[in-house]
């Protein structure tokens, strides 16, 4: 008894110290989550105030800005600029033309044009009547373009003269008397006699606001756009994009960016892209600031543009940042006014390097998609994280177990899905509200009901509930931070192991000379599963002939287990991207290592030589019996 008392007494200070440390740790963790949630509350507040049944739409916001900030600059492009009043006046010409042409709310107009002011002006004017604009990807050709035009069922097509050739080369047949062309003032284009010039027709139209009665029945929940998916797994699908979605995005991000009149947001993303074409103009309109628009992204001119337009923020995607980092270092890399960048896909391996080299003080990384009803955002500046959910009860996103081998979601004995624990990889879902009057979390879906239903998972945690399937594999940590792992369908199995293409790509990308590493799995006759293959986009000054297969093997071997190392390497002069800047994998998987069709240099892993060596027909014949 005496021994026990002495023992307890002697250890009491230690127990108390341990308890105090644990308490301090929990307190710090809780305080960190509360600080993040406080920022998220601002974002949430500005999101939920937009409801599907509201009568104020995009047109009301634009016309309000045209009065309140009439002489403030709204749009900068090359040598041109538009004030808010000028932009609104030109959009009014479009609206009056559409009215004269008999267009009414719910009608659709297809828009095919490169980045230039007329792109924004066209859909802005059509929106004043409640006419939907189908934002066509300018990279679409032939069958894909014809499919997109047919899918949106547009009554009129508006085409930039710079895109007219690809339209005429496709099998698409324009509506009778429904093809209108807007000439590109920067290019010499001769229009055919049977093509109608919309720019000339617009000169006859008034610049006054159209009668609001023309859109009196329009509501926020009605479509503003049809935005097309990237088509990574098939032909592009048009998704609904409402006035509410447009307005709530910019309003939400206004609360966390600090943009105000006088700021300039740089946009080199294509305007058919959800971030470039919707978030940037919505954010600018809500904040009363300007957009500096570029026709196409240029890594060599990016920072020159930022200096010229006195840019204070820009919208990025990860590939942009990689290309910028691979530009030669300049003494004026930090000579700019950019203080904030918003976007997605900034990998952990280049986050700090980008920030340190170019001196951008704040990076806001986020995760979502054009059609998704849920998202996460990184307001803490944690390198590599796509966002944080501090308190699960305050968010509609959940991570559930996913079995890649069977392409199913495991369920418990009650028949419900199983939520992932920290560190476990699963599919991210977004709860769809049962009340159609609620805007937050609404899944607007696609124009095809069948395609919409494919994206919904039911009876997930309760009988009758419905959740949007992101198709993305994520993981979270103990602090509530989330990390992108892979797309479902991109992860492949080799040597009885699941290989994440995203994680392997992050390890391959730092190899000298590599700009983008695209990883995917290919079948080898005589072997189960799929072997890893990577298409490496090299710097423009790199000669593929001098690719050091031995050094690349050493780089892979030092950082990856053998089963995760690529078996094949394909060298490309530039990354193979979709129109929405996602890496193409489907076509690359189909082409594989077929020497008869692939013109890029191909290499195969040789473990005996500890090098990647040139792939030859003789080596192809030996693959079936090769041991990797």
Provide the pLDDT for residue 209.
98
Average pLDDT, whole number, for the chain?
91
Please, which residues have CB within 8 angstroms of residue 78's CB and are 6 or more apart in sequence? 186, 295
Phi, psi of 575 (to 5 degrees): -70, 145
Q: Give the class (CATH, top level) of 68-247+267-272.
A: alpha beta
Read off the tokens for 441. 């979390």
- In angstroms, the Cα distances linking 268 to 287, 353, 455 are 19, 22, 30
Residue 381 CA to residue 303 CA, distance in Å, equals: 22
Containing 79, the helix (H) or strand (E) segment is none
Query: Which CATH code of 3.40.50.720, 3.30.300.30, 3.30.1330.90, 3.40.50.150 fits the domain covering 490-625?
Result: 3.30.300.30
Is residue 434 within 8 A of residue 479, CB to CB? The reply is no
Share of the chain above pLDDT 90, in %: 73
Confidence of residue 107 (pLDDT cuts 50, 70, 90): very high
354, 360 contact by CB (below 8 A): yes
Residue from 122, 69, 62, 68 nearest 93 by CA:
122
Q: What is the per-residue pLDDT for 540?
A: 79
pLDDT of residue 229: 81
> Start-end ranges of CATH 3.40.50.980 in the chain?
68-247+267-272
Structure-model confidence comparison of residues 310 and 192, the more confident one: 310
φ/ψ of 452, rounded to 5, equals: -65, -45
Determine the 3-state secondary structure of 623 from DSSP: helix
What pLDDT was estimated at residue 193?
A: 57
Q: Enumerate residues 6+ apart whose C-beta is below 8 A from 108.
A: 131, 132, 133, 134, 152, 153, 154, 155, 226
- Predicted local distance difference test score (pLDDT) of residue 12: 54
- pLDDT at residue 240, as a whole number: 97
Q: Are 364 and 454 in contact (CB under 8 A)?
A: no
**pLDDT surpassing 70 at residue 73:** yes
Percent of the chain surpassing pLDDT 70: 93
Look at residues 496, 562, 507, 498 and name the one whose alpha carbon lies nearest to residue 534: 507
SS3 255: helix
- The sign of the torsion formed by the CA atoms of 203, 204, 209, 212 equals negative
**In this structure, are residues 566 and 533 in contact, taking their beta carbons and an 8 Å threshold?**
yes
Element holding 236 (H helix, E strand)? none
Find all residues with CB under 8 Å of 204, minimum gap 6, and list them.
Answer: none
Distance CA 295, CA 316 (A): 15
Does 477 score more than 70 pLDDT? yes
The confidence band for 486, taking pLDDT boundaries of 50, 70 and 90, is confident
12-26 average pLDDT score: 65
**pLDDT confidence tier of residue 9, bands split at 50, 70 and 90:** very low
- Which of 147-151, 345-349, 418-422, 590-594 shows the lowest per-residue confidence on average (mean pLDDT)? 345-349
599 torsion bin: left (phi>0), alpha (psi -120 to 50), beta (else): alpha
In the numeric block, which tokens belong to residue 418?
């199983």
Q: What is the arithmetic mean of pLDDT over 396-421?
A: 95
pLDDT of 83:
98
Going by C-alpha positions, the residue among 526, 538, 598 that lies closest to residue 568 is 598
Residue 6: band (very low, low, confident or very high) from pLDDT cuts 50, 70, 90: very low
List Cβ neighbours of 82 (8 Å cut-off, separation of 6 or more): 73, 74, 75, 90, 117
Comparing 427 with 26, the larger pLDDT belongs to 427
Task: Give the number of other CB atoms < 10 A from CB of residue 374.
Answer: 23
pLDDT at 4: 36
Question: Closest by alpha carbon to 276, among 162, 385, 370?
Answer: 370
d(CA 337, CA 324): 17
Ranges assigned E (strand) in 404-507: 426-431, 456-458, 466-476, 481-487, 492-494, 497-499
How much is the pLDDT for 15? 60
Confidence (pLDDT) at 187: 63
Element (H, E) at 620: helix 617-622
Across 465-491, average pLDDT: 93
Considering only residues 186 and 213, tell me which one the structure prediction assigns the higher pLDDT: 213
Question: Tell me, what's the pLDDT at 11?
Answer: 47
Q: Is the pLDDT of residue 194 over 60?
A: yes
Are 548 and 514 in contact by the 8 Å Cβ rule? The answer is no
Largest interatomic CA distance in the chain: 108
Decide: 341 and 311 in contact? Cβ < 8 Å. Answer: no
Crossing angle of the two packed helices 318-325 and 348-358, in degrees rounded to 10: 60
Of 5-14, 18-27, 166-175, 218-227, give the range with the top mean pLDDT: 218-227
Interval 383-390 mean pLDDT: 96
At what angle are helices 501-508 and 549-559 packed, to 10 degrees?
120
Check whether 188 has a pLDDT greater than 80: no
Residue 392 is encoded by which pair of tokens?
């699960």
From CA 204, how far away is CA 188, in angstroms rounded? 24
Q: List, in sequence order, every residue forming a beta bridge with 602; answer none if it has no partner.
A: 570
Distances (CA, A) of 605 to 29, 148, 494, 495, 562: 46, 41, 15, 15, 11
The pLDDT, as a whole number, for residue 614 is 94
- List the one residue out of 291, 295, 281 whose CA is nearest residue 123: 281
pLDDT digits (tens, 9 = 90+) for 115-165: 999 999 999 999 999 999 999 988 887 888 888 999 999 999 999 999 998
Angle between helices 84-100 and 58-68 (to 10 degrees): 140
Residue 411, classed as helix, strand or coil, is strand
Q: Where in the chain is the domain with CATH 3.30.300.30?
A: 490-625
The answer, yes or no, to whether residue 8 has pLDDT greater than 50, is no
Rounded Cα distance between 59 and 428, Å, is 34
What are residue 289's phi and psi, to 5 degrees?
A: -110, -170
Contact (Cβ atoms closer than 8 angstroms) between residue 266 and residue 72: no
CA distances from 435 to 53, 445, 450 (A): 12, 16, 21
Could you read off the pLDDT of 202-236 as tens digits, one per residue? 999 999 999 999 999 999 999 999 999 865 556 78
**What's CA 445's distance to the chain center, in Å?**
17
pLDDT for res 192 = 58
Query: Can you give the three-state secondary structure of 354-407, one letter per residue?
Result: HHHHHCCCEEEEEECCCCCCCCEEECCCCCCCCEECCCHHHCCEEEEECECCCC
What pLDDT does residue 67 have?
Answer: 98
Tell the residue number behind the tokens 């590109």, with chain if given: 184
Quickly state the pLDDT bin for 10 (edges 50, 70, 90): very low
């Amino acid at each position: 008894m005496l021994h026990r008392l002495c023992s307890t007494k002697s250890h009491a200070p230690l127990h108390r110290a341990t308890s105090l440390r644990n308490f301090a740790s929990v307190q710090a963790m809780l305080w960190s989550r509360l600080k993040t949630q406080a920022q998220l509350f601002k974002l949430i507040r500005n999101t939920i105030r937009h409801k599907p049944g509201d009568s104020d739409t995009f047109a009301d916001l634009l016309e309000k800005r045209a009065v309140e900030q009439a002489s403030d600059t709204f749009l900068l492009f090359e040598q041109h600029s538009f004030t808010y009043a000028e932009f609104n006046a030109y959009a009014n010409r479009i609206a009056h033309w559409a009215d004269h042409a008999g267009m009414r709310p719910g009608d659709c107009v297809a828009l095919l044009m490169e980045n230039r002011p007329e792109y924004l002006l066209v859909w802005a004017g059509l929106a004043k009547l409640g006419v939907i604009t189908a934002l066509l990807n300018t990279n679409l050709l032939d069958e894909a373009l014809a499919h997109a035009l047919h899918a949106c069922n547009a009554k009129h097509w508006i085409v930039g003269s710079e895109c007219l050739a690809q339209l005429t080369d496709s099998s698409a047949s324009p509506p009778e008397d429904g093809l209108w062309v807007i000439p590109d003032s920067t290019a010499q284009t001769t229009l055919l006699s049977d093509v109608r010039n919309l720019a000339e027709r617009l000169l006859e139209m008034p610049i006054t606001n159209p009668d609001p009665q023309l859109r009196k029945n329009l509501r926020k929940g009605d479509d503003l756009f049809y935005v097309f998916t990237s088509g990574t797994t098939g032909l592009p699908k048009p998704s609904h994009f409402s006035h509410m979605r447009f307005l709530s995005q910019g309003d939400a991000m206004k609360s966390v960016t600090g943009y105000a009149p006088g700021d300039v947001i740089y946009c080199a993303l294509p305007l058919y892209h959800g971030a470039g074409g919707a978030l940037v103009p919505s954010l600018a309109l809500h904040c009363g600031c300007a957009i500096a628009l570029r026709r196409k992204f240029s890594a060599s001119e990016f920072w020159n543009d930022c200096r010229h337009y006195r840019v204070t923020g820009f919208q990025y995607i990860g590939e942009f940042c990689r290309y910028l980092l691979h530009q030669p270092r300049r003494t004026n890399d930090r000579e700019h006014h950019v203080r904030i960048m918003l976007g997605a896909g900034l990998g952990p391996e280049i986050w700090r390097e980008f920030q340190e080299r170019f001196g951008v003080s704040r990076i806001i990384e986020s995760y979502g998609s054009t059609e998704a009803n849920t998202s996460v955002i990184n307001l803490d500046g944690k390198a590599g994280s796509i966002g944080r959910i501090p308190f699960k009860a305050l968010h509609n996103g959940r991570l559930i177990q996913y079995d890649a081998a069977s392409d199913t979601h495991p369920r418990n004995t009650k028949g419900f899905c199983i939520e992932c624990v920290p560190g476990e990889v699963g599919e991210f879902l977004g709860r769809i509200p049962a009340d159609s009057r609620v805007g937050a979390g609404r899944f607007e879906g696609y124009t095809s009901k069948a395609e919409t239903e494919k994206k919904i998972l039911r009876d997930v945690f309760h009988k009758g509930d419905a959740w949007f399937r992101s198709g993305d594999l994520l993981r979270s940590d103990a602090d509530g931070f989330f990390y992108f792992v892979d797309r479902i369908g991109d992860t492949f199995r080799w040597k009885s192991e699941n290989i994440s293409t995203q994680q392997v790509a992050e390890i391959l990308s730092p190899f000298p000379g590599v700009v983008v590493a695209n990883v995917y799995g290919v079948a080898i006759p005589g072997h189960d599963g799929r072997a890893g293959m990577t298409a490496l986009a090299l710097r423009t000054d790199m000669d593929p002939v001098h690719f050091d297969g031995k050094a690349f093997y050493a780089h892979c071997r030092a950082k990856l287990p053998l089963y995760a190392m690529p078996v094949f390497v394909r060298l490309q002069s530039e990354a193979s991207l979709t129109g929405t800047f996602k890496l193409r994998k489907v076509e690359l998987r189909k082409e594989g290592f077929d020497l008869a069709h692939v013109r890029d240099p191909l290499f195969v892993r040789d473990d005996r030589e500890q090098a990647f060596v040139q792939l030859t027909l003789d080596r192809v014949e030996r693959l079936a019996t090769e041991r990797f």
